[in-house]
Structure 1
């Protein structure tokens, strides 16, 4: 909502309030200010001029040489504009002047002819194309509507000295979608009187009953219908002051009648529509539901198909408007219009919202109706249109009003407890202070014992119960004036065990050089194809989004690998040399298909990386460091050759007892091709729900050993297909109580080892807790280990 301050001043005296204070105080009282703009702040030396003479340029067909009177001198100006004529009043920027975009103009020559200044178009004056008056040419010079004093600053003529405040109006305050509504807020905020709008129609002729009749057949969708008639209408451009106000409020001037209806809508918040009465069959208005399948052409020249839920305005034979949305092409006001019927109605917000959504047609009128409008303002708005028509001298107002009001809106009376308000706000406001605030908001208050009986004006549709008054008093009193108090309670907040584990995991992963990423929980079904997931896989059992933003966000994810690979692919394709990232997020597993209950939400940790010096063991090292910090031991890696997304020879499951914690490995080349990544990528996905259960954050102190250790090295020759874990399991099993540690320090394949075999070298440390070991004890255990390796794995000492 754009509010010109100059227009606001018509209702509240804010002459002595500077713009910063005005906007700041309105923000503090609940009106969100999006922007404040001064249209003419950067304009300099642009004045009114009159074209005295136009001659052809001697050396250029598309240019003309003009003589322009600016009051104290006549300037020669060369222009290529085609809409200039002798006698026109136009804006002229003088030598050294500045346009709104900061451009400075200097005198010069155009094809050899001196040009002292420049005539200005609407765009050069800072007027946006979307609000440029219909009678002004988009690429032409801006032509002023009448003879203004020559040399007058153009900012005074076009109202460019004004400030425009842009407000974001919340859906619960449709009354603020008007100048009057924001004037009420300003008056209440600064505790200054609101100037009443005086509406007087001095002269009325004939009788409306001789001109038109109105019938409301579907009163459940039309709360009120007010009609007035104006005859002997003269259609022409609006005066400059009216055009200025519309443009500053973000609306394009069309003609005087349409402009007046738009002006009143912006001023009072009541949408209006003008029908050419001579185009209405039988001079009749009928408010009813449309026939199913009926077609209707709106003012934007689009034919629309209607249904029986659409409320329309019809005459004696045809539809002429979509109620509350847009008028019809067959009844629009044109230059030949002589008699008009002004519609000021109140339609059901649900009906207008439904019609607007079905037809994909949203207008300034529908935006207001769908939020709700006070029906009692309809008659005021209709009379205001008549007043402006009379003041501009463009028609005669026909006496009488047609006012069908089947669903009368009455003022609500709400019981309010002052003590409750103070308790909730933590204030000690007196009854008098509260009553003063409520009366500033145009509410009437009666005291009954220890309670207020508050009468709420009908334009405040958002107020219905006691708690609403708490907010009203708080915002006008000033949120910044409310005391700061600490909530009382018997419990102290603390992180849950799960939150502590998550935080430790994230800190650990950050510490080893990974960046945390966050991605959307909804993904594309195509993700499974990119990951080469088979059609029968359980991962394709998904929760589908009923109203997705698009195909790319139509299902809930069952794996985070697709999201991780998208992020890595994006970085790779933007020439990021290496990337290491992780995400801790939810996947969504449906309990059944079709989905008829909430899915299972499972926490999953995904780690991804690529780069010049990164390999499988880089990823494995990160996982092991994480598990070490979480106190997780006794897990093992089992080769995995069947996962469709991973390289079959470079992938392993992480197993803890009977549970599979997750999978790590190098991504399959086919998947890499799908994501347009031309380097090796390593990804791990871990079930964090299990991690919660097996994490051990407590640390038990163990005293330092008192007795010395003995170390023995051994190099074994085994078959290539034997895993080191098989060797280590046998060593640990036979090390009895004196084997303290086993460390692999070499794996060798080469000429000295026969083909199909490898050499694996270990360092074994022996120590007893209660004594110093002898060589005999160690030798006995060590030989037992070697013997078991020979028997079970066919190992030989090298």
Structure 2
């Protein structure tokens, strides 16, 4: 959300000082919400002035460039290299001298352009950031005074625009407008907060309303998400451009001005945080406005010209014949403001936030209004919203007048009250870890418009309604307000008073930690984290069949509407994205998959798993590295598993046998304790093609829960490193092209000698389709002695005889 410092000052007792403006981003980040950036708006225009083009000459070294001699306000001249086709002698244009800084970071410096030094720059509207036209230099007209600064000529007041991260204020609906941000600034900075739209203002505005009934009464039907609905009928309006001050403010915070009535709605929403909508009253059919549930299948063309199809779970604002507005989200095209509108109906309502979010998510329509209603707006804000809009209509359309009193239907707003919170000052200081006096606490809370009463050590706090919509009800909530305004960085650090004793982590947590230690160090894997929520579309893309899903009742989006049944689809999606930028990589994730309850289980089941992925864009074999990584990892986890051919004899909870993404000839299962502890598989080329992934990809999975069940049953013991040297032996054997590498590994495992420390496959070489050679490596050693040359030779001969006996003769020649 973009916030204007000039706009904030409307709600402060005095302007911000230069120091406060310079530090406002840091202040808000430390005390209120994260600020993504602070940008000077219009400040660069102070250095850009009006000049007259006295002479235009051709560039000596470039046909498309020209040399313009311009006269400055003091009578001096400068030569500027310019490529714009529209410049003419006598034309008055904006000129940026050397040293001018632009918002995009450009700083003008003297440099040669095709051999000629340019002493500044003539600017287009786009370069000045006052328009989109970059086709030519901005013509200021002959009335523009020479030397006049552009911010004065265009009547633009330089501003400071603060970009606040929306996620940081999700729990603070009161901060979705300048008034709320100004309230926080009033508690943090020297100027104090002063609300121009308080009770006195409300009373004065209401005096301007007639006492007769509204010509458009409103009625809220049961079973809707409407908390309260205000409406006001106004006549004699004119649709025309907004005044420049309003256009400038809207443009500064990223909104494009449209016309006075539309701009008033946007302006009020940004100013006080309350969305509103205006109807062309002549287009309302019948005698009243009705807030009702939508009819099943009812359709409505919205202001953005899209059409939505509604259900009975949605709420609409309707007239006697048709829906006019999707409640809290967007108005319809038919009843919208047009150039000929002269009678309007202003609505401002409050809606149940969960209902608005569900409708917005289902329809796929997100608007500034829905964003605010989803946060839980204060129902009392809506009256201020509609009356502030009415005040601006009177200001921008002098002949306008209300033709009836404010119409309302919904809950009794007077009955919507907050319960006071009582706590002790001593307990608050313990919570915060600092010393806060009763005077400081009262001053801080009062600046934030909390009511405060202190009786000895007891603090009674009345919570304002704009803070009560998001469960502000505990003493800790009050303590947080006091602590954040002082600043947690200003609290004096102190050691914890409670005794500290080491905690023995759960076996599953120890396993996860060991996985995260092993894979980066021994396999050069990088850890990734993917969302535990997936969508039906992603599962379908990954050919993953659902045997039962944990579908959310209130999903964030249709792309994340269920808990993932496996880590495989999420990791494949991450690999697809990374493969666009990298030719090879290895990644892993330690996370959970989620499964519906079965049998006697009362709740859904979580499964803790590890998944690894090896990607090779050049077509190199990724399957063998996965096997070579999982085998030592199982040993490191204290669960040495046997790698066997995948078959139906063992259950496969991690990678179903019928998954079409599994390569039928490159798949292995790791078993121990009679269970499947892991899987390894190369991804089928057809799936890779559908995902537009070039090269080859293999994955491996480990069931950490199965290993954790056995954790502790076999006591580990310390074994010192051998003081004696080891020796390695490589040999290349002949294999049949159709044989699996696992058969060779199985033969190596059957070679039982106490001096064998390790055995593995090193490389594979196939010079022709009929020839296949595989190099294996064995390590020999002893913890009690140095092996003699004779013993090593005997071991090597025994290995060769053993392999030859099992059908793997030594390669000769």
The count of residues paired between Structure 1 and Structure 2 equals 695
Match in the other structure for 2:236: 232
CA distance 1:365–1:388, change in 2 (3 Å):
same
CA distance 1:186–1:107, change in 2 (3 Å):
same
What are the ranges of 5 or more consecutive residues in structure 1 without an aligned counterpart? 52-65, 110-115, 130-136, 534-538, 706-719, 733-739, 746-761, 770-784, 794-798
Alpha-carbon distance, 1:251 to partner: 1.7
CA distance 1:9–1:301, change in 2 (3 Å):
same
Match in the other structure for 1:471: 480
Match in the other structure for 1:161: 158
CA distance 1:592–1:92, change in 2 (3 Å):
same
Written as runs of structure 1 = structure 2, the 5 A alignment for 1:654-665 is: none
CA distance 1:698–1:36, change in 2 (3 Å):
same
1:697 aligns with 2:694: no
Whole-angstrom CA distance in 1 between matches of 2:434 and 2:447? 19
Counterpart contact for 2:611–2:699, Cα < 8 Å = no
Alpha-carbon distance, 1:35 to partner: 1.4
Counterpart contact for 2:610–2:703, Cα < 8 Å = yes
Match in the other structure for 1:438: 445
Whole-angstrom CA distance in 1 between matches of 2:333 and 2:605? 51
Counterpart contact for 2:549–2:595, Cα < 8 Å = no
Alpha-carbon distance, 1:679 to partner: 9.3
Match in the other structure for 1:113: none
What's the C-alpha RMSD, in Å, of the aligned pairs? 6.1
1:515 aligns with 2:525: yes
SS at match of 2:27: helix
SS at match of 1:330: coil
CA distance 1:238–1:491, change in 2 (3 Å):
same
Alpha-carbon distance, 1:698 to partner: 0.8
Alpha-carbon distance, 1:459 to partner: 2.0
Match in the other structure for 2:127: 124
1:183 aligns with 2:182: yes
Written as runs of structure 1 = structure 2, the 5 A alignment for 1:385-784 is: 385-392=389-396, 394-398=398-402, 401-404=405-408, 406-409=411-414, 410-418=416-424, 419-448=426-455, 450-461=457-468, 462=470, 463-484=472-493, 485-486=495-496, 488-489=498-499, 491-497=501-507, 499-500=509-510, 503=513, 507=517, 512-518=522-528, 520=530, 544=549, 546=551, 556=564, 575-576=583-584, 592=598, 597-599=603-605, 601=607, 603=609, 689-690=706-707, 692=711, 696-699=715-718
Counterpart contact for 2:84–2:135, Cα < 8 Å = no
Deviation digits for residues 316-356 of structure 1, max 9, x if unmatched? 55544344333333333333233333333334444544443
SS at match of 1:370: helix
2:282 to 278, 281, 288: 278
Could you state the TM-score of these two structures normalised by the residue count of structure 2?
0.66
Written as runs of structure 1 = structure 2, the 5 A alignment for 1:214-233 is: 214-218=217-221, 221-233=225-237
Alpha-carbon distance, 1:298 to partner: 2.9
Alpha-carbon distance, 1:177 to partner: 1.0
Counterpart contact for 2:293–2:312, Cα < 8 Å = yes
Match in the other structure for 1:8: 8
Whole-angstrom CA distance in 2 between matches of 1:766 and 1:661? 31
Deviation digits for residues 733-755 of structure 1, max 9, x if unmatched? xxxxxxx768999xxxxxxxxxx
Match in the other structure for 2:26: 24
Alpha-carbon distance, 1:592 to partner: 4.5
Counterpart contact for 2:723–2:783, Cα < 8 Å = no
Alpha-carbon distance, 1:221 to partner: 4.3
What are the ranges of 5 or more consecutive residues in structure 2 without an aligned counterpart? 54-67, 114-119, 650-656, 725-738, 760-777, 786-797, 807-813
CA distance 1:317–1:363, change in 2 (3 Å):
same
Match in the other structure for 1:265: 269
Whole-angstrom CA distance in 1 between matches of 2:621 and 2:300? 66
Deviation digits for residues 71-125 of structure 1, max 9, x if unmatched? 888999997789x9x9xx997346767764438699999xxxxxx975633x333
Whole-angstrom CA distance in 2 between matches of 1:44 and 1:395? 37
Could you state the TM-score of these two structures normalised by the residue count of structure 1?
0.68
SS at match of 1:699: coil
Counterpart contact for 2:551–2:561, Cα < 8 Å = no
- Structure 1 residues 289-298 or 177-186, which shifts more? 289-298
Alpha-carbon distance, 1:183 to partner: 0.8
CA distance 1:596–1:241, change in 2 (3 Å):
same
Counterpart contact for 1:446–1:454, Cα < 8 Å = yes
Whole-angstrom CA distance in 1 between matches of 2:587 and 2:422? 56
Whole-angstrom CA distance in 1 between matches of 2:212 and 2:682? 85
Whole-angstrom CA distance in 2 between matches of 1:253 and 1:642? 67
Rg (Cα) greater in structure = 1
Whole-angstrom CA distance in 2 between matches of 1:316 and 1:678? 59
